[in-house]
């Protein structure tokens, strides 16, 4: 059962616990053992609390024995990204002047607990100090923008990064250290590590999942939380748990979300899908492997006609956000305002720049809405690159062509993802194969509040192209 348990999805594990075929304590002990064995290599966890996790598991077992109503994530061990507050758990962002022990649970953590999840700890973020289980490490010297000694490793090739700030969660999920982790996505930070690590990553409609940060007075205008999972069913389930209005977040969507599981297996017969290679601009950031990566994702996308979908290439061209170049070369000012509270003092924003940003957003919004008048969803590759090596990763952030500025990102990686943060559209990445032994992701994009449709298509992709490969960690 041990090996089987490692790779079961959360949905299946929960069913075993509810039926009394396995205890939550056994499940939690199993995954804590995996973390203890492999985290020294993968550096996927910032903080781990086995004592608390086992206590939560015992309470879950007692609830099952007493016949209590059990939540949709009952007994499932989950970790959250280090930037999400977990009551009693230390957080450490020394480069941002933030450290201490959280006094409260983030809304997402509250909802996970209410659904029965067992919170085992937090996952490492790109560019922050990592830690051994239960023991925070002092921040090691930085090399350029990053500290390779502290960064998470990609389980498919530990010389490569999982990529972006939800890296630890992606590595943990892909390696079978946990069935579910929670990330956040402000430009691709859930989707890119999911694609690079071979898991499902969700960027929901802006405002679908509420969030309040009591430590910093900053609006989240471009970022949102979302799950990293190995199955689409788990992704839909966890998104359902996290979604819905909360009075503490006054800019979240006030309507109750759709039922994402109700039509998950209904198929895609008659669904109209558009495909784009590069949105009309991303080709300028292509590298040697990009044509092969795009060709693989394209083959999977057009192969969906066998499931009854209509798949057509669109010739529409959208405008690059130029996010990696900073506001001086076209980055929308709204993004600069959003992230500046996390990275550097708020700059004075030129009114003309702000007006240009709003006009950029309106043009792209109208372009996508025009597309979605004719098609149900849009498909593309999530990234036209495979996971970079440490040297490639460092170089892409420091060379003259792709140099990152405070609050900016290297557009070489975000070209296919950041548009949907700035527009607030939902997008999900699902594994679609391998190039040079590394995973590739297929991105599914829809208009606001189309998660039910996106999950249905993502499920069809997993059914049409089942993956059985697992990273070798020996």
Bridge partners (DSSP) listed for residue 313: 275
Q: Which CATH superfamily is domain 2-464 in?
A: Amidase signature (AS) domain (3.90.1300.10)
- Which pLDDT value is given to residue 178? 99
For residue 385, pLDDT over 90 is answered with yes
Once rounded to an integer, what is the mean pLDDT over residues 170-190?
Answer: 97
Query: Are the C-beta atoms of residues 243 and 257 closer than 8 Å to each other?
Result: yes
- Pick from 84, 147, 156, 149: which is nearest to 113 by CA? 84
Which tens digit of pLDDT belongs to each residue from 281-304?
A: 989 889 899 999 999 999 999 999
Which tens digit of pLDDT belongs to each residue from 428-447?
A: 999 999 999 999 999 999 99
**Predicted structure pTM score:** 0.91
Query: Distance between CA atoms of 133 and 174, rounded to whole angstroms?
Result: 18
Which residue carries 């859930």 as its tokens?
190
For residue 67, pLDDT over 60 is answered with yes
CA angle 3, 69, 180 (to 5 degrees): 35
Q: Report the chain's terminal Cα–Cα distance, integer Å.
A: 19
3-state helix/strand/coil string of 228-248: EECCHHHHHHHHHHHCCCCCC
- Which pLDDT value is given to residue 1? 64
- Pick from 80, 98, 100: which is nearest to 90 by CA? 100
CA 446 to chain centre: 16
Instruction: Show Cβ contacts of residue 282 under 8 Å, excluding neighbours closer than 6 positions.
Output: 320, 384, 415, 416
Once rounded to an integer, what is the mean pLDDT over residues 113-120?
Answer: 99
Residue 165, CA distances (Å) to 128, 193, 210 in order: 9, 8, 20
- Which pLDDT value is given to residue 349? 61
Would you kindly state where each structural domain of the chain is located, as residue ranges? 2-464
In a 13 Å sphere around the CA of 122, the CA atoms on its Cβ side amount to 32
Mean pLDDT score of the chain, rounded to an integer? 87
- Pick from 188, 181, 258, 203: which is nearest to 425 by CA? 203
Task: Among 225-234, 260-269, 357-366, 381-390, name the one with the lowest average pLDDT.
Answer: 357-366
Query: Distance between CA atoms of 191 and 235, rounded to whole angstroms?
Result: 12
What crossing angle do the helices spanning 50-65 and 24-42 adopt, rounded to 10°? 160
Phi, psi of 80 (to 5 degrees): -120, 155
CA angle 179, 183, 186 (to 5 degrees): 155
Strands (E), 211-341: 224-229, 272-275, 310-313
**DSSP string covering 11-42:** HHHHHHHHTTSS-HHHHHHHHHHHHHHHHHHH
Task: Among 134-138, 211-215, 417-421, name the one with the lowest average pLDDT.
Answer: 134-138
Count CB atoms within 10 A of the CB of residue 190.
Answer: 36
For residue 214, pLDDT over 80 is answered with no
- Which pLDDT value is given to residue 412? 82
Which tens digit of pLDDT belongs to each residue from 318-376?
A: 888 764 333 333 344 444 444 444 455 545 566 777 788 888 889 999 999 999 999 99
**Residue positions counted in the chain:** 474
Which helix (H) or strand (E) segment holds residue 249: the answer is none
For the chain, percent of residues with pLDDT exceeding 70: 82
């Amino acid at each position: 059962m041990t090996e089987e348990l490692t790779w079961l999805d959360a949905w299946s594990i929960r069913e075993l616990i509810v039926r009394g075929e396995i205890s939550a304590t056994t499940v939690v002990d199993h995954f804590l053992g995996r973390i203890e064995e492999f985290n020294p290599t993968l550096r996927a966890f910032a903080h781990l609390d086995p004592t608390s996790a086992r206590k939560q598991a015992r309470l879950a077992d007692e609830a099952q024995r007493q016949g209590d109503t059990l939540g949709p994530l009952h007994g499932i061990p989950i970790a959250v990204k280090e930037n999400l507050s977990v009551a009693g758990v230390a957080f450490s962002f020394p480069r941002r002047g933030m450290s201490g022990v959280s006094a409260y649970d983030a809304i997402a953590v509250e909802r996970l607990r209410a659904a029965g999840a067992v919170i085992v700890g937090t996952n490492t973020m790109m560019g922050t100090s990592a830690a051994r289980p239960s023991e925070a490490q002092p921040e090691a010297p930085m090399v350029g923008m990053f500290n390779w000694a502290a960064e998470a490793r990609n389980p498919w090739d530990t010389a490569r990064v999982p990529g972006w700030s939800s890296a630890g969660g992606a590595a943990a999920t892909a390696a079978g250290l946990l069935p579910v982790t929670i990330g956040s996505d402000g430009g691709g930070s859930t989707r890119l590590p999911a694609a690079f690590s071979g898991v499902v990553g969700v960027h929901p409609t802006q405002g679908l999942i509420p969030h309040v940060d009591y430590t910093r007075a900053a609006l989240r205008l471009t970022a949102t939380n979302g799950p990293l999972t190995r199955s689409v069913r788990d992704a839909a389930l966890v998104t359902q748990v996290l979604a819905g209005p909360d009075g503490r977040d006054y800019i979240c969507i006030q309507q109750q979300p759709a039922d994402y599981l109700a039509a998950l297996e209904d198929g895609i017969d008659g669904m109209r899908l558009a495909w784009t290679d590069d949105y009309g601009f991303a080709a300028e950031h292509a590298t040697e492997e990009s044509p092969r990566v795009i060709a693989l994702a394209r083959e999977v996308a057009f192969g969906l006609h066998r499931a009854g979908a209509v798949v057509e290439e669109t010739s529409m061209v959208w405008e690059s956000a130029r996010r990696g170049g900073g506001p001086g070369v076209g980055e929308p000012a709204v993004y600069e305002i959003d992230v500046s509270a996390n990275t550097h003092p708020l700059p004075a924003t030129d009114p003309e720049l702000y007006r240009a940003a709003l006009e950029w957003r309106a043009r792209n919004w109208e372009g996508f809405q025009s597309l979605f008048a004719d098609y149900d969803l849009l498909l593309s590759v999530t990234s036209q690159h495979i996971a970079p090596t440490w040297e490639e990763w460092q170089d892409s952030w420091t060379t003259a062509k792709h140099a990152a500025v405070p609050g900016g990102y290297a557009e070489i990686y975000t070209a296919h993802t950041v548009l949907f943060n700035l527009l607030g559209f939902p997008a999900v990445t699902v594994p679609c194969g391998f190039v040079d032994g590394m995973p590739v992701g297929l991105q599914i994009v829809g208009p606001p509040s189309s998660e039910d449709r996106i999950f249905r298509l993502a499920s069809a992709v997993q059914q049409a192209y089942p993956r059985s490969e697992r990273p070798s960690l020996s």
